[in-house]
Amino acid sequence: MRIAATTTAALLPLLTLTACGSGDPSSTTPAGAQASPAPTDDPIAAVRKVDSVAALLPADVRQAGTLRIGSSIGFPPGAYYPNGQDKPPAGQDIDIADAVAKVLGVKLERQDASFETILPALGSGKYDVGTGNFGVTTERLKTVDFVTYINDGQGFAVKKGTTALTTEVTDLTQLCGLTIGTGAGTTFEATLTAKKDVCAKAGKKPYDVKVYSENGATLTALQQGRIDVVMSTINGLRYQAAQPAAQTAFLGEYHRLDVGFAFKKDSPLTKAFQAAVNELIKNGAYARILTKWGTTASAIDTSQINPPEHA
């Protein structure tokens, strides 16, 4: 369901979120709030090329000087459009990717893409690398390589003032009998689907899952009472709940996941990206980026290639 066009724009950057993957940034959103402006500081301005790291790139990439990156842009603080889709995107993922490119001495050809299309497109060669708050899971590691840069994960939020669910979600049986909204093709959908029998085992009414291809539609459904709870990224839901106009309450962390740049399997780019992230950690630019976006709780000590999914 779409609401009137005059009411859809105001909350777009504030409330469009899903994932260990985001979705369509042009989605419908509830009315009544102002867009969140991007922070103005520029922690990547001083980042410079590091020759020893750039040397890890394949020769053809160094010669071309460009990499094609498929970016899923939909929600703060990860990646969003603070000034409209005709202006450059902003966010933690944008800054980290741009800083990595500077260390490697290459330019990024960024293409906005929907979350669920990016991983398959890596295998076809459409993109060299993908970003979209992609959580590292056992299933994804079968077909995709990851280079980690933050630790985020899965959480829940409700409409402020609801009585349907008021405590931190630590067990999915707390959701029995409720309707949960989440994004298509995400780790959230996979988790909810895989564990849907927990309610029957507990002798309770099953929860219902509604999947939305447009992120704003999920939030509209929450505000209109068509779903009881949203499952999405920890950082995105926490950021959203901090905006008074959003009228949502964050119900805590459910499951942490490493988040990384995504590549086709056996990509020759992974070692260079890992070294670049570690260079940013070492020189302090990484910490400044996370401070800028309020995500220091998601900092990692060192980048890894294809770590196992968190238990």
Question: pLDDT tens digit string along 44-101?
Answer: 999 999 999 999 999 999 999 999 999 998 778 999 999 988 999 999 999 999 999 9
Tokens read off for 105: 């001495």
| pLDDT at residue number 51 | 98
Q: How many helices and strands, by DSSP H and E, does the chain display?
A: 11, 8
Q: Distance between CA 26 and CA 17 in Å, rounded?
A: 11
* Amino acid at site 155: G
Tokens read off for 192: 């909810």
- The pLDDT tens digits of the residues spanning 201-260 come to 999 999 999 998 776 788 889 999 999 999 999 999 999 898 888 889 999 999 999 999
CA angle 134, 136, 138 (to 5 degrees): 135
Q: Distance between CA 131 and CA 111 in Å, rounded?
A: 10
Q: What is the pTM of this model?
A: 0.84
Q: Distance between CA 97 and CA 149 in Å, rounded?
A: 10
Model confidence band, residue 298 (pLDDT cutoffs 50, 70, 90): very high
The neighbouring-strand residues paired with 183 are: 212
What 3-state class would DSSP assign to 142? helix
CA angle 180, 185, 186 (to 5 degrees): 65
Per DSSP, which regions of the chain are E strands? 66-71, 107-112, 129-131, 144-159, 179-183, 208-212, 229-233, 248-264
- The pLDDT tens digits of the residues spanning 101-154 come to 999 999 999 999 988 899 999 999 999 999 999 999 999 999 999 999 999 989
CB 128 within 8 A of CB 68: yes
| pLDDT at residue number 39 | 83
Distances (CA, A) of 69 to 3, 76, 132, 247, 248: 32, 19, 11, 34, 32
Q: Distance between CA 80 and CA 140 in Å, rounded?
A: 24
